[in-house]
Structures are given as structure tokens and as C-alpha cells.
Amino acid sequence: MKFKKSYIIPLLVVSGFVSSCDDLFEPAIENNQSLSDMYTNPKEAQGLIGQVYTMINNVYLTTPQSDMATDDAVSNAISSTWKTMATGGWRAEMNPVSTWNACYAGIHYCNLFLDNADQIVWSESDPEINKMFNTRFKAEAYAYRAIFHFKALEAHAGIVGGTLVGIPIHDKTEIEGNYLQTRASIKECVNFILKDFDEALKTIPYQFADANSADEIPESLIPYIKKNTDGTPNVSAYNRVYGVQNVGKIDGKIIGAIKSQLELLCASPAYQGADTGIDWEVAAKDAFKVLKDAGKDPATLSPTGYYWYDCTTGSDNLDGDGGFKPATGTHTELLWHNYDASVTNSLELNCYPPSLYGNGNINPTQNLVDAFPMANGYPITDKDNSGYDPENPFEGRDPRLQRYIVYNGNVIGSTNKTISVVMPGVGQTNIDANNQENGLSTKTGYYLKKLLRSNINLDPAARNTMRHLGARIRYTEIFLNYAEAANEVVGPKGLVGDADFSAYDVIKAIRSRAGITDEAYLDECAGDKEKFRELIHNERRLELCFENHRFWDLRRWNVGLSQLNQTAQGVTITENPDQTLNYTIGDVETRNYQSHQYFGPIPYSECLKFSELTQNSGW
């Protein structure tokens, strides 16, 4: 791939994460500029970084996507790429989970910035401020370059010739000649990612915030801060460069959380032969460190954290700015989230049932519904202890089921409409029932409720919009990372390193927060590491459902192919003459993954362009 010395820089700043950075991007730059133009115009250089922020939105998705290619959901869309993928059509040239283009575009922008950052004049009047801005933006670029390599590795690492290999490492911008496309080992990729993170952490704060005095400036940053005449750090200069206006950009806390994601991947069964030097113990210790540094423990788990997206009370009230935390970035559940404060209703339009003027696009499966235990904590398959009644299947269940899934008799929307999916009788109509209208009605007997605002009204006569808070990384995810890793090292109740809580403590707190306070089944599982592993996996499935985790979780766990290919099921509900209901479970959509599809492919077009770029086996 050839790159000319004269670059054209696209500086269009788009909505999303970038909208949190208005202080840097006003007025928005929408024209193309040459590379040399940014040396004397910092807004143009920041526009280059803006492209990096844009690419982050493409790799940290905050709306349900890959869940529809698992056993958790299907799409009712007439033409769905997720259905094509899940039912046997996943190809190197048809890959909805690919992050290749976004990641390598982001990497290119980072490299382009790093190669030219020292020539950019951020402040003509103050050389010290100029140096501080340069230092901070370079740290961000190192961090984002690491993130893009990690997300490309997750989606495109694979088996080549019997060996698990990584992706091409791009550590510089190639001006002329071939852009390096030789694939590195997993170990080399991980080491490069961690090295970039370490470089970023040298000159980036744990969290952006204003300092009230020199004592509040992080010690690691003092050598880089403009000094007063008496040699003390200049607080005003620090706040100008590292202040609260930067909340939402990459910081030390976010880097720690992403390292936890990377380490969990490396420690997992599918990657254990890659010789990365990262095992379950490393993953557990570093996940605990993320939580400890943030002042988190199971006792302080956010009480509304499992429905942050619809929280309208307390400090995280979405309708009162609390959820967005524009001043501090201290949401109690979300470690990293989008900072787009615009009001929309597009998610509800896509997912509300058709009787509420929605398209009902995402349909949870019976498989997922069955994974929710009873309110006493026992799985519904435990006939002796659960109390599950198949003729009243939604009674006495885990309260998260009511929060996350619209089932027959559940309510949703600003009017708290009770949704019926009972099949209509002769001469009757019910557009919410199964398969009543193609592209609108549910295919499984269920609609999505998680992530939707309950106070949205889509009625054309009273349509409104609301703020939405998209989760990139939740503290609950890091708790689950710790629990999974700690259980593998020391079992359910053991402590890893300096940790003062166990995997058991984490799962107990998560279930208790949701309303499961009976510990009998939890204690039963705690007697066996393998059984507790299954419980952790299920809790992760429930807590993180529709957040684009399960597709890759199943693969890193290296589950059996039969589990990967569990047919998506649904329920058809009919009414008897005496008004009792029949619940008939049936198959809705097959899953047809092959043995090589534990790892994604390299894009077919890239293999055609670069002879050095080897494709993963089977693709």
C-alpha cells in the first residue's frame, strides 16, 4: 500500500464521543486540509485526533449488535446480516463483527499524529503550555493506538498452520513503500499494546479533573507542568490542559479497564496456548486494581447500576444531568460511556413493539429467558427447589427479567402499556404477537426492554425524545472479570493477591442488587469451582446481555461447537376457551457455525491486496 508524502487530512468532526469535546472542536472543521496546515493551526491537528474519537465509536458499540448472532437474540428485520452470519453465511467478505477497517484507520490517524505532533504549535504565546498540550495529546494517541490494536486482535486473531497468531502491528506511518502486513504473534501484539499503554500512562492522569492547589496535581505529571517563578506547578496551566473539560477522553482509569479486558482474553481457554505471560492470576490482580483504584468493592456496587440506561432517581438521574456527569465523570456504574447529551428516540423506534409505533427489531430468545433464575436464585431447571411453574413462566423470576425483556404481560413505554403477544383468534388482530407483520412483529414472543428509556412516547401525536447513556465499560463488567479470573485461581471464596473480596462476594453482590437475596443456591455452587464457573458465566450472560459481549465470550471460553450452535428458540402463546394460556416452545432460527469460526477472518479484500497477509485457517 502506497502513501504519498503530501497527506490530505479529513477533519470532519462527527457526533457521538466527539460531541463531548466541544471546547476543542468549535467551530467544526469540515474541509480537507494538507498535513502541513495543522502545524500552525491546532484546531486542525485536533481534528485529526477527532477522527480517532470517531473510530472509537465503531469499535466500542453501545447498542445491541452481535447479540443477534448468538443464542440470546434474533432480528426480525426482513434482510438481516446477523441472520445471514449466524445461519451459515459468515464469510471473510461478509463479516458484521469485523473491526479491521475502523481499527487500522484509527491506528493510521494515531501514527500520523505521533509522527507530526512535535511540529504542531498549540500555543504561540506560551512555549510551556505548548509543550504540555503536546505531551497530553501524544499520550492520548499512544493509548488509542493500543486500543485499536486490541480490538483488531480480538476480532481478527486466528489459527494459521495450527498456530494461533495475531495481527499486523502498525507502529509508524509508512510514507512510501509497502505498509507492513506481516502478522505478529499474539505475544508480540499483547506486548506492543501494553507498551503503548505504559507510554500513555507516563503523562496522562488517572482521571481528568480540575486541581484546586498544586498538591492536587498528580505527582507523575509534575515534571511536565509549567512552573511558577518559585518553582511550584502552575495550577491554572494544569487545569487548562488536564482539567475537567477533558472528561470522557482516555485517562488512566479507562486504560486500566481496557487492560483488564485484554488480560481476560489472554487468560481464557481459547488463548492460553499463545504464551502471552498473562494468566488468570494476572487478570484477577489487575481487575482488582482497577476496582480498588476507583474505590469500588462489592458492598458499594451501584444499586441502580443494572438499569443505568433508565435511571431517573438519585445521583445518576439521566433526566437531571446526573447520569452524564458532565462536571466530574463520576457515574457510579459506568466507568466509560459516551458523552453525547443529545436527545433521541431512535433506539426505541427500532425496538419498541409495533403497538407502540416501534419496529420490534431485536427479539430476545427463549434460551436467554430460560437463563434467568427464579427470585430465590435457583435455575428454572431445578424442579425440586426453584418453584418454577411452566404454566406461569414469568412469575417469581429474577427481577432482571422484567427489566431487560418484554414478555407477555410486561409493561413498557411512557404509558406503561401492558404488552400481549398472545396469538389472535379468528377475527382478531394483535400486531405484537409472533410473526403478524414481517419486519415489525416479534419472531420469538419477546421484545427488547434493556437499554430503552421507559419515558419515550412514539405516538405521532405526542412523540418525544430523551437522553441515552451508552455504556462502553461498566464497573460491573470489571467485577465480573475479577470474579471469573479469581475463581480459576483460588476458587469461589479464595482471595488473589491483595484483594479483600472473593469471586463469591462479587456474585453475591450482583445477584443481591437485582433482588436475589436467598443464598442457598449460591452456597451450593460455591462448593465446586466448576459449578461456580458456570454460575459466573451465566451471571455475565444476564448482566451484560445486549452489550455485545456474548458473541466473543462464547469464543474465548472455547465452548463446544454444539453450544455455539444452539438453535435460537421462542415461545408461541395461545389462549384456551377458559382464558388460560398455552406456552409452546419452538425453534426460530438455526445457528450454523463451523469449527474454524471461533476466530474471525481477515477481510478478503485485504488478503487480495497484500500477499504477505495470511488468512486464518478455514476462511
Task: Report the distance separating Cα 73 and Cα 65, nearest Å.
Answer: 10
Q: 472 versus 320: which is more confidently predicted?
A: 472
Distance of CA 1 to the CA centre of its chain: 32
**How many CB atoms are closer than 10 A to CB 327?**
13
Highest mean pLDDT out of 26-30, 55-59, 504-508: 504-508
Q: Average pLDDT of 440-467?
A: 96
Contact 341, 326 (CB under 8 A): yes
Total-model pTM: 0.93
Average per-residue pLDDT in the chain? 91
pLDDT attached to residue 516: 98
Nearest to 554 by CA among 346, 368, 275, 278: 368
Residue 176's pLDDT band, with cuts at 50, 70 and 90, is low
State yes or no: pLDDT of 323 exceeds 80: no
pLDDT attached to residue 327: 60
Residue type, 436: Q
Task: Report the distance separating Cα 25 and Cα 50, nearest Å.
Answer: 8
Residue 8's pLDDT band, with cuts at 50, 70 and 90, is very low
State yes or no: pLDDT of 220 exceeds 90: yes
Which secondary structure element, helix H or strand E, spans residue 379, and what is its range?
none
State yes or no: pLDDT of 319 exceeds 60: yes
Choices 1.20.1630.10, 1.25.40.10, 1.25.40.890, 3.90.550.10: CATH for 1-59+91-243+598-619:
1.25.40.890
Q: What is the pLDDT of residues 402-418, one digit of tens each?
A: 999 999 999 999 999 99
State yes or no: pLDDT of 366 exceeds 50: yes
E strand spans, 369-450: 405-406, 411-412, 417-418, 447-448
Nearest to 142 by CA among 100, 99, 199, 189: 199
Percentage of residues in the chain having pLDDT higher than 90: 82
Give residue limits of the domains in the chain: 1-59+91-243+598-619, 269-340+473-543, 343-467+559-591
pLDDT attached to residue 325: 66
pLDDT attached to residue 147: 98
pLDDT attached to residue 21: 36
Of the listed ranges 111-120, 553-562, 582-591, the one predicted with least confidence: 111-120
Can you read off the three cell numbers belonging to residue 23?
471546547
Residue 157's pLDDT band, with cuts at 50, 70 and 90, is very high
Residue 281's pLDDT band, with cuts at 50, 70 and 90, is very high
List residues bridging with 159 in a β-sheet. 164
pLDDT attached to residue 10: 40
Residue type, 564: L
Q: Average pLDDT of 252-275?
A: 97
Query: For residue 296, what are the CA distances in angstroms to 326, 514, 543?
Result: 21, 18, 18
Q: Average pLDDT of 339-362?
A: 93
pLDDT attached to residue 321: 67
